[in-house]
Structure formats: C-alpha cells, structure tokens
Structure 1
C-alpha cells in the first residue's frame, strides 16, 4: 500500500474506535461525506469490507476488527515516539557535546556548569578536551571552545571569557644554574616544555610580542605534552620553562614556586569563545547551555 494511504488508515481507526462517522469526522476535522468516501476508497483498494454500516450504527467487520487490533497499538507507539521527539523542542533535555582545551574546561566551563546542571537534570553535557582545531560538524559536536582568533568566520561565536595573557615560567631551582633568557631567541638554549598540536602534528611555536614586535620561537626540550596542566607540573618539578596561561601560573609565582621569564614579552590573545554552526533549529538545551556559559556584560 502506498504511504499516502496512511491517512486513510487513520480515518478507518477513528471510525472503528468511535463507531460513528459523525463523531469520527468531527474528531478528524473533515466532513462526514468526505470521511465516508475515504473509507469506501480504502475498502476498494484492499478488496475487503472493513465496516458494517446501518442507518443507526457502524461496526467493524471481522476483517476490520483484525485490522483495528493490529494497527491501533502501532499508531499509538508512533504518536508516543513523536511526542518524545517534540519534548526535545519544548523541554530542556538532551545531550550537548563540547570540545575544549583542558584549561578552558577547568577554568571556564566547569565553574559555570557546576551551578547550571543541577537546575536541569535532563540536560547531559559531554566535554572532550583537546588542543586540535576540531571540525565540530564532522565530529558531531554541538559546541567548540577556542580562543577568539581561532574560530572560523562561518561559525556563530559567543565570548565566554576575557582576553587571555600567556606567560613563560620556570622554577627557581631550574634557573639557579642557568642564566634566565633575556631575549626570545635565547629560549632555544633552554630546556623548554613543548605542547603538541594534534591538528598539525607538530609542536606549538611560542608566540611572543613586545610593543609592535611579534615573534614565534620554536623551542626544544626533554618533555612534550598535550595539555596545560601537565606542562605546569613539569615546570614546577624543575624540568624547564613552560608557556602557559598567566592566570594558571599566577598562584605559583605568588608562592615563589615559579618565576616569570621574559615578562615584557608576554602576549595577549582574544579570550575563549564558544562556537557552533547555526542558530537554526537549535534545541532548548543548547540555547540554555550557551546562555549559561556566556560571559556577562562588563566582564571582558
């Protein structure tokens, strides 16, 4: 039977359930004559009588009763499934997948989700940490989080953090027997802790700036990681110099466990932004998560 006959089956179910063309027509929003024509056409296509009609009543035939008992539960299941899908539009529920760096996840995402998630127990959030410039559409992420200058122009971007200053730090013990570098080029003479970028397969070149001068230095060292926190721990243990967010290093500098290196060359980057492909057909869950992570006005 052609798919366009499904409406005819729904019409039959209504008449068989109501045992009345009048009540069924009112329920379906059609005229009684149009409904009667639909049922006759269905019976003609099937080659079997489905309803017994008298001037005072309507009742399913044996074939009609069998068809009704078979179809009614199935259409009820379809209605229930559709209602569940519509709930994703009307109620805040569903899974939101996010890709972010470990530092963004720890310093920005988690503190805000900590107060947001208890309010919406039906919203699930999955956070994957990496430093690659992930294609969120291809990898089926709902949201990506990166520095503002790393967001593609065709994405919708929402700022979630102030501008970020990067810093070079080292442990006093590491610098005790080595002269601290006085120029960016002198970093090549030091044991530096590298960050591996999975997208490019290479290590990150340290970006430094002083006034209008900007330089990139490719450093070398004994250790390479793919996360800021491991780089911090290695620097604290005296394994070399690390290039990490200033705010991450600040408490350890204040306590004397780390010192600033080449402080007048520390660069500032646009803060973290979340991004996603389109506002069209966004779920309520996605909208709520975006609003929860959005940087409040005046905090830039």
Structure 2
C-alpha cells in the first residue's frame, strides 16, 4: 500500500460519517474538490467505488460500507494513541466530537466549552447540534447529550443538570390581548407555538399533567418550529404560548418579560445527561471534558 494513500483514509471516513463531500470538506478544512480527489484515489487503488454519488446525495456502496467498517476502528486507535502520548506530556489535544440537541447547548455545553478553551487550548471541541436521536458510535462522535429517558442502557451516563420542568409561557402583551388559559382545554383557542419533530416529521403533542395524570395534548397555532430557543424568541415577541424547559426562560420570568401559564399542568423532566460508550472514557480528551462538566454541574446544582 502506497504511504500517501493512507493519508486519504481519514478523508474517506469523514465523508462517510458526514454523508457528503462538502460537509466533510468543511470539517477537514479542505476544498470539496480536494476531498473528492482523495476519495477517487482510494477508489482507483481498490478498483471499485466506495460511494454512490448523485446531484443530491452521497451514499456508501456495499464495498464502501465494508471498507469504512474496517478502517474506522484502526483510525480511532491511532488517534487515541497520539492523544495518550500528548496527555502524558501534560497536553490534552485532538478533536472531541459531541452530538447534542440545540436546547442542551446553553443549559450544559456552553459553560463547559468556555472552561475547556481556557484549560486545554490545544483541544478542538466540535459540536453537532442534532435534534434526532443519533447513533453516536456509527456517527463518529465521542459523546452525546440527551434527556435521561432517551439514552440506550449500554452507555455510561453522567448527569449534567438537575431535573427541570417543561412549562408554558407567554408574553404579558399576548396574555392581556387574548387572556390567560384557565384549563388545558382552553389551549384549543390559543395561538400555541408548536414543534415539528425532525425524526418523524410529525407535530409534537405537548406533555402535560391533568389532575395527576400525564397527557399528550395536540395544539395548534400560526407557527411551528424545531428549535425551542426560537420558540422562546417568538414568545417574547408576543406571538403566542410556548412550551419550553424552565431553565431556558428563567431570566425572562424573573424580568417579567414572560409569564407562566397553567403551572399545575407542568411536567418534570429528568434533566440532561452526557453519555458515551465504555471504551471512550479512557480517552484523555473525553476524561478532561468529563472532569470539567462534573465540576460545573456540581456548582450549578448546588447553586
């Protein structure tokens, strides 16, 4: 095997994980044409295509799937070996790849990134904001963040936040114009800022408590979003009632910019958790991140 060809293997792996040449090029800081040339060089050497290319999509061939399955663990082992050597010299370096929903970023990830950038300037943290329940192993991520109830049981889990409530809020202007709902049934005549589920494409029914029983309530309104931080923004502008995690609007509630409605209908969520496969916890970059988020989460939950 030509030595130069080995340098192209991580590029092939990145294209497979990112599902496209342009996306891989952005991650690798390369031009799409350079990425395409590297993949073509590997394909020419192997004598068969690794990807099926159309104008709209890129997918692995059967040969490509087998090749990626073979080189993925080997490349990961090499990367981990380099990181262990660097860690032995007191440096935490490399790329830490995280997968997290958008809502988790301000609640748990951003404070850790701020601390990590000061403690470990040689480490790059790459965050993929993903509302779907991604398979972090096949996706090439070192760790993910999710609500506790959504994590596979074979993962190691570390709590990032305490439990919090999912509540309904609206701006004072909206409530003065439309009135506050007195019961869950009253939501039917209100403009509710709904959510579209990216994974299934369906509309999300709000999980609420009705006389001690959890119910799923279908709501309607003039807008649906996929990002709760945008639902907050729309609620602040008086568009309608938003269903949102309480920590995201805590400051708005204190400032009087939003008001909670139907507080008795709020449910409690288990909180956000960092999760990763058992073998990944030995990587210095992940260990450093775990130590950082544990320290921060202890401070947040004690405060």
Please classify the TM superposition score into its range, dividing by the shorter chain length: 0.5 to 0.7
Equivalent position SS for 1:242: strand
Using a 3 Å threshold, how does the CA distance of structure 1 residues 213 and 285 change in structure 2: closer, same or farther? same
Distance, in Å, in 2 between the alignment partners of 1:218 and 1:149 is 22
Instruction: Give 5+ residue unaligned stretches, structure 1.
Output: 1-81
Distance of 1:281 and 1:175 partners within structure 2: 49
Q: Is the 8 A contact 1:210 1:267 kept in 2?
A: no
Give the direction of change, closer, same or farther, for the CA distance of 1:135–1:175 in structure 2 (3 Å limit): same
Q: Deviations for 1:60-115, whole angstroms, at most 9, x for unmatched residues?
A: xxxxxxxxxxxxxxxxxxxxxx9986331232221111111222111211112212
Q: Contact 1:162/1:299 (CA < 8 Å) preserved in 2?
A: yes
Q: 1:98 to 1:257 in 2, by over 3 A?
A: same
Tell me the equivalent position of 1:30. none
Residues of 2 paired with 1:84 and 1:268: CA distance?
Answer: 40
Counterpart in the other structure of 2:289:
289
Deviations 1:187-210 (A, max 9, x none): 122111112221222222211125
SS in 1 for 2:103: helix
Q: What's the RMSD between the two structures over aligned residues?
A: 2.3
Task: Answer yes or no: is the 8 Å Cα contact 1:174–1:238 preserved in 2.
Answer: yes
| Residue pair 1:174, 1:239 contacting (<8 A) in 2 also | yes
> How much does 1:185 deviate?
2.6
Corresponding residue for residue 99 of structure 2: 99
Aligned twin of 1:147: 147
Q: How many residues align?
A: 219
SS at match of 2:99: strand
Deviation at 1:186, TM superposition (A): 2.2
1:167-192: CA deviation from partner (whole Å, max 9, x where unpaired): 10011221223232222232122111
Residue 89 (str. 1) matches residue 91 (str. 2)? no
What SS does the aligned partner of 2:298 have?
coil
Distance 2:138 2:189 in 1: 41
Q: Give CA-to-partner distance per residue, 1:19-52, whole Å, 9 cap, x none.
A: xxxxxxxxxxxxxxxxxxxxxxxxxxxxxxxxxx
Spell out, residue by residue over 1:245-280, the C-alpha distance to the aligned partner (whole angstroms, 9 max, x if none). Answer: 112222222222211110111111111001112236
Residues 188 and 163 (structure 1 numbering): CA distance in 2 closer, same or farther, change over 3 Å? same
- Whether the 8 Å CA contact 2:181–2:187 is kept in 1: the answer is yes
- Paired position in structure 2 for 1:129: 129
Matched, 1:228 2:228: yes
> Which residue is equivalent to 1:299?
301
Please give the secondary structure, in 2, of the residue aligned with 1:108: helix
* 1:1-300 superposed matches below 5 A: 86-90=81-85, 91=87, 92-209=92-209, 212-279=212-279, 282-294=282-294, 295-296=297-298, 299=301
Task: Provide the secondary structure at the position in 1 that maps to 2:200.
Answer: coil
- Using structure 1 for the length normalisation, give the TM-score: 0.67
How many angstroms apart in 2 are the aligned matches of 1:85 and 1:256? Answer: 49
